[in-house]
Amino acid sequence: MKKLYMKIDLKILEVKGPRKLKGTKVIATDLRGGASLLIAGLIADGVTEIESSEYILRGYGDVDKKLANVGAKIKVTE
C-alpha cells in the first residue's frame, strides 16, 4: 500500500498520496473543516464547489484573494 507523503516549505506545500482527488460539491460545516475542504479542493483535479463557505471567508480574512495571489483559481459567488 502506498503512503501519503507531505512536504512543507515556506512557500510550497507538496502532497502526494496513493490516489488522486477529484473535485466535487462539498459542504463546509465549520471553520477548520471548511479550510480542510478548501485545501483538498485546491489539490484536486477538476472543480470543487464549497457550500456554506461563509465559515471559511469569515474565519480567514480575504483567504480567496490571498490564495489567488499565489496562483489558486478561486471564485466566490453568492
Q: What is the pLDDT along the chain (78 residues), one digit of tens a residue?
A: 567 677 777 777 777 777 888 999 999 999 999 999 999 999 899 999 999 999 999 999 999 999 999 999 999 987
Where do runs of H (alpha helix) occur along the chain?
31-43, 54-59, 63-69
Phi, psi (degrees; rounded to nearest 5) at 27: -125, 125
* Of the candidates 28, 42, 52, 44, the residue with the CA atom closest to the CA atom of residue 72: 42
Instruction: Report the candidate in 50, 67, 59, 62 with the shortest Cα–Cα distance to residue 13.
Output: 67
Q: What cell does 60 get?
A: 480567514
